[in-house]
Amino acid sequence: MDAETKARYEAWKWKRIRQRLIIPGIGLLLLIVVILVIRSCSSHDEIPEVDTSDATVTRQPPPVALNYLDFDFTVYDEHAISMVREAELDDYLVLVNKVFRLPADFSPESLTAPQVLSVGGVNNTDRFLRLEATDALENLFAAAWSEAELTLWLSNGYRSYDTQMITHQHFVDLVGREEGEMISARPGHCEHQTGLAASVTAPSVGGYLIQELSATAEGAWLRDNAHRFGFIMRYPEGEESTTGFRYEPWSIRYVGTDVAAYIFENDIVLEQYVLPYTLSRP
């Protein structure tokens, strides 16, 4: 092969190598680079899969529960009012006030008439409470007599949504809306609808529901001993800004003996005990 032919052959050979190997190779390399760049960018937008079966996986803590200071219980703010969740309707700790409202059609089961004296000293036949509260109230009234020879009368127990509508309007008409809503809850916002609240009075104040009850022996005994039977003083003196209602020495609410003892010993009200517990539940 002469030199000219050999040179032409070598040129042809390298041309073929470039066409079949080098150029495709460079193209393939560029394609790989582009794919890697795209995958790297898109990976930042993907949510990584987490093996939840591994007990060592770090989980985000639940959000911090709100507390009673985050609410204004002194007013009915339509933008803040929240319906009580169905799972809590039968709970001893269900919170009902100017923010948390019961469904209009809610009525607790197992309503029974406590075997105690009602206003006027007659046997109770038409004032009802939930069974657990009924038993506790009977024990409370019996202890007041056996321990201190004090007679207590039941004034009110369960009250339906419709009945509370009439009761509330009566007080609004009597003293005006601003004052009326400090002494009587709107329908759906009344604890009596839960079947866990009772109004207790005594012969010494003529069976009336008045603040003067607190100055009597019966009122003092009720305040100091209700917790032993699972009841709390629902609207204590000086707590209007937290409960949203005027001081009522006759209003008691069943929450169970353990919770009642805690609330009594720590001098707090139901909002301060229940609210963080309620809102942190799943």
pLDDT, tens digit, 9 for 90 and up, residues 57-98 = 444 444 556 788 889 999 999 999 999 999 999 999 999 999
Pairing of strands 248-254, 231-235: antiparallel
Task: Report the residue count for the chain.
Answer: 282
Whole-number pLDDT of residue 47:
44
Give every residue of the chain whose pLDDT is below 70, as ranges: 1-28, 31, 33-34, 36-65, 277-282
Pairing of strands 100-101, 82-83: parallel
CB atoms within 10 A of CB 197: 23
The pTM for the full model equals: 0.77
Structure tokens at 231: 């009841």
DSSP string, 179-221: HHHHHSPPTTS-GGGGT-EEEEE-GGGTT---GGGGGSHHHHH
Helical spans, DSSP H, in the chain: 3-17, 23-42, 131-148, 161-175, 177-183, 217-225, 240-243, 257-266, 270-279
What CA–CA distance (Å, rounded) separates 94 from 275? 9
Tell me the residue type at 38: I
Calculate the CA dihedral of residues 160, 166, 167, 172 and round it to 10 degrees. 140
Structure tokens at 179: 């004052």
**Helices 270-279, 257-266: crossing angle, 10 deg rounding:** 120
Whole-number pLDDT of residue 15:
58
